[in-house]
Structure 1
Amino acid sequence: MAASFHAFVLAGTGSGCGKTTVTLGLLSLMKKRGLRVQPCKVGPDYLDTGWHTAVCGTASRNLDSFMLPTSTLNALFCEQMQHADIAVIEGVMGLYDGYGTDPDYCSTAAMAKQLGCPVILLVDGKAVSTSIAATVMGFQHFDPSLNIAGVIVNRVNSETHYQLLKVAIERYCSVPVLGYVPRMEGVALPERHLGLVTARESVINQQPWQDFAATLEQTLDIDALLNLSMLDNLPVGEWPALPAADAGAGLTLAVADDEAFNFYYPDNMTLLARTGLNIVRFSPLHDTCLPDCQMIWLGGGYPELHAAALARNVTMLEQLRAAHQRGVAIYAECGGLMYLGSSLEDSNGDRWLMADIIPGHSKMGKRLTRFGYCEAQATQQTLLATAGEVLRGHEFHYSDFTPEIPAVMNCRKVRDGKTLQAWSGGWQVGNTFASYLHVHFAQRPEMLNHWLAAARNTL
């Protein structure tokens, strides 16, 4: 492989240590240098990837080892690297935090080893001096097989403070310190109950990020970072059997895409496009006309924040019901499920009428109803899976859905070999399927064959 390919994982000591902010600064900086940068995020998070995409202009990719087999994930990564000079991969939580207590299962460290990428460890420099070396040393010794190639110190007060931290780390840990990140105004990311506010909802002011990048160019040794991130080889991967290149020919998929619905994995869109589908976008919030289509996808998002506007757009609700009645193959995830239900009660206690395609009622709560990875086994034929097939995905929602019809999937959360929680979920009505589960299609491309076959019945 050409030596011009680079990749590194920006890992943290824990959540909230500044990984996303620093990642965005690095993306802006690399772009400023004229590099073709591929942003990535370890895990299933939609929000961080949305900000990556907004700041650097290239669709960020999720690297999720729970949903995707190793060979498939590696193949996806290699494909993206064919169009990039460098991959900047933001880790998830702390470096060794995964699913359960196994540091090699769904963790940032495990992903770095799988891809063969060096780790740049981001540590907090606030209110500490020599003790910071103990923190770095602990991360080094926890897994000596992991390549922690460099350190960046966040929240540094001054150059004098930084020199004290740098000398301590390099003296006791023998790892290069690549620089520091000072406190800066205007680069904090807005938050709400589900995490960050989506980049889609915010007007992205590029100037603060460009200013941040200019500062990082002064406080970080970017040339050293690029040298450390040079890859000798890309990981070995292989695609699973994919739908035929003409499997979607003659079919149109309408994708809901606006402030209320915008959580989609770019890889899923790419896989759909490879079938020859015609993909068009529409807005349940603003449009009054549904595109002429045989398939509809309603992704996740924040319908609870726009419930009044969604309810007022009666024409769109009527057109969705009509599409359902004539057999259009409709798939809905999380926020899409809430929209297809009978009604939605927002956090103020106001109740709004929705599409009434999946009989049931959504109600917003004050804490997460379910959170994290889970498996779902179909108990009957559904839009995406036949009876017995298991899908892997994740749930992340404050709402709860009270159905008026039986569920069609048995769901469970298994951690460290123990079933922590089991429940029923997913509802199929006619050619419409909806659930809280977010899935990555590459884990089981047969899902697309099921969906496409259902859509062909409407032709």
Structure 2
Amino acid sequence: MSIPRVIIAGLNGGSGKTIVSLGLCRAWTRAGRNVKPFKKGPDYIDARWLALATGNPATNLDPYLVSAQVMRSLFVTAGKGYDGAVIEGNRGLYDGKDVTGSCSTAEVARQLDTPVVLVMNCTKMTRTAAALVGGMAAFEPDLNLAGVVLNQTANERHRGVLRAAIEQYTDVPVLGALPRMRSNPIPERHMGLWSDTEMHDSRSPLDAVADFLCDNADVERIWQIARQVPAADSALIPDLWDMLPADAAVGPVRIGYVRDAALWFYYEENLEALRRAGAELVELTLLDDAPWPELHGLYLGGGFPETLAERLSANIAARARVKSLSEAGMPVYAECGGFMYLGRTLRYGGVEYPMADVFPVCTTVHERPQGLGYVEALVVEDNPFHATGTRVRGHEFHYSRAVAYEGESVRHAFRMERGEGMGEDADGMIVRNTFAGYTHLFAPGEPHWAVNFVRAAARYRDAEAD
């Protein structure tokens, strides 16, 4: 685990760590380094941008979703062959799911023995910055706070006072002082940054962010910090895939997954887990009516179906195809945006759009989040993917809420023990062999899922062949 690495953390959410992480990834990549990006916590959008900044897939790390042993194996397995790694944190450095800070960015830093560069918003602040940096450095003594990047500084005088105060009162070096950006090159909206699929040129803003960071921070000094990590024998850390169930010995099955501008929230580890369990994966789209190959299973990830609701609704052939596959008993697994597509209608901006009508519900997009954070659920109803009595961990981030049409009944496989789900302590709507919910899972933390999915696909394949 001696790969050069650094965690970019924030004093709090909105501190600027994403801009610094993207700028650093892009700057190091332009300098000829093969950089592996990681994102701490459950996240699809920032991870997508980190991948674009480096040209390499991003991997998520989260102590809630996986054990410490699995996370170390995931880091080593994903980091093999790269020159260095950038890990973008989430929220504030010490913020976790409870008062002890469990599952925080700091916990990831300790488990992976990684130096931390702190980004802090210095708006209307001078000497107080030194007190904050000193407190952050002393709060958990076993954390290596290797430097700080000052953000949202007003002018040269402001930057000079901040730098002098921090250097006088702390031992934490100032690695950069960023002026206020007149506009964010990567626009944001209700679920975070825009996706690259919604921008005509996704490379240009990343180069602009890299130029901004190089002009105002010492990116080469951060590289030297990243290189000063303890040597470790990676051979003693098992490969991730050697730790998880692999071949389900069911023979070849073909599982389609929709990846287009509407649905694209997938952890690459989820797709790889399906391959390891015996699936051939086929990438599909719901935005045109091109024929699909023979399938034995269907996976619908999350995304932004509401922004493309008119196109999804207009594609009557695709909607009818998905409904008929579900009615035929094909195993279908849908998360969040995929679940919204499987409803009867989707309401957005005051307009109600017909969807696939697998479930007799209307999902309505609201202005405020309807579910946000970690999830834990007990499986209480039979379904092909999760055995009854199993506890499943995941996360949710949705602005929509599903309501069944009057006179219609629905069944739920999950009883929520943490998180909102579909409300009333329920999530995971099921009908036949179709499962859909707001809960996103991470396959390395729920190793049964991929094996069960492939086995269900094999049963469907065999039944169709009879």
Listed as ranges, the matches of 1:44-443 within 5 Å are: 44-103=42-101, 105-185=102-182, 187-230=184-227, 231-233=229-231, 237-238=237-238, 239=240, 241-245=243-247, 247=249, 249-346=251-348, 348-403=349-404, 404-413=409-418, 423-443=425-445
Structure 2 partner of 1:418: none
Contact 2:277–2:454 under 8 Å retained in 1 = no
CA–CA distance in 1 between the matches of 2:436 and 2:317? 21
CA–CA distance in 2 between the matches of 1:194 and 1:244? 34
Gaps of 5+ in 2: 462-466
CA shift for structure 1 position 185: 4.7
Q: How many residues align?
A: 450
Taking only aligned residues, the RMSD between alpha carbons, in angstroms, comes to 2.1
Contact 1:155–1:181 under 8 Å retained in 2 = yes
CA–CA distance in 1 between the matches of 2:296 and 2:419? 36
Secondary structure at the aligned position of 2:288 is classed as coil
**Structure 1 pair 119/409, CA: closer, same or farther in 2 (3 Å)?**
same
CA–CA distance in 2 between the matches of 1:186 and 1:414? 35
CA–CA distance in 2 between the matches of 1:154 and 1:248? 54
**Structure 1 pair 248/204, CA: closer, same or farther in 2 (3 Å)?**
farther
- State the AA in 1 paired with 2:260: D
TM-score scaled by length of structure 2? 0.91
Contact 1:255–1:296 under 8 Å retained in 2 = yes
Contact 1:186–1:208 under 8 Å retained in 2 = no
**Structure 1 pair 438/81, CA: closer, same or farther in 2 (3 Å)?**
same
CA shift for structure 1 position 249: 4.5
CA–CA distance in 1 between the matches of 2:258 and 2:185? 29
CA–CA distance in 2 between the matches of 1:106 and 1:210? 32
Contact 1:298–1:336 under 8 Å retained in 2 = yes
Secondary structure at the aligned position of 2:255 is classed as strand
- State the AA in 1 paired with 2:310: A
CA shift for structure 1 position 145: 1.8
Contact 1:249–1:275 under 8 Å retained in 2 = no
**Structure 1 pair 256/138, CA: closer, same or farther in 2 (3 Å)?**
same
Contact 2:287–2:315 under 8 Å retained in 1 = yes
Q: Select 2:22's aligned residue among 16, 24, 28.
A: 24
Contact 2:274–2:451 under 8 Å retained in 1 = no
CA shift for structure 1 position 288: 3.8
CA–CA distance in 1 between the matches of 2:278 and 2:387? 23
Secondary structure at the aligned position of 1:359 is classed as strand
Contact 2:381–2:412 under 8 Å retained in 1 = no
Secondary structure at the aligned position of 1:408 is classed as strand
Q: Select 1:451's aligned residue among 437, 450, 453.
A: 453
Contact 1:289–1:315 under 8 Å retained in 2 = no
Residue deviations 1:221-259 (CA, integer Å, cap 9, x gap): 233212222222458754474333464742111111111
CA shift for structure 1 position 446: 1.4
- State the AA in 2 paired with 1:427: M
TM-score scaled by length of structure 1? 0.92
Secondary structure at the aligned position of 2:125 is classed as coil
CA–CA distance in 2 between the matches of 1:61 and 1:248? 29
Structure 1 partner of 2:464: none
Structure 1 partner of 2:32: 34
- State the AA in 1 paired with 2:220: D
CA shift for structure 1 position 167: 2.1
- State the AA in 2 paired with 1:60: A
CA–CA distance in 2 between the matches of 1:159 and 1:249? 66
CA–CA distance in 1 between the matches of 2:282 and 2:347? 30
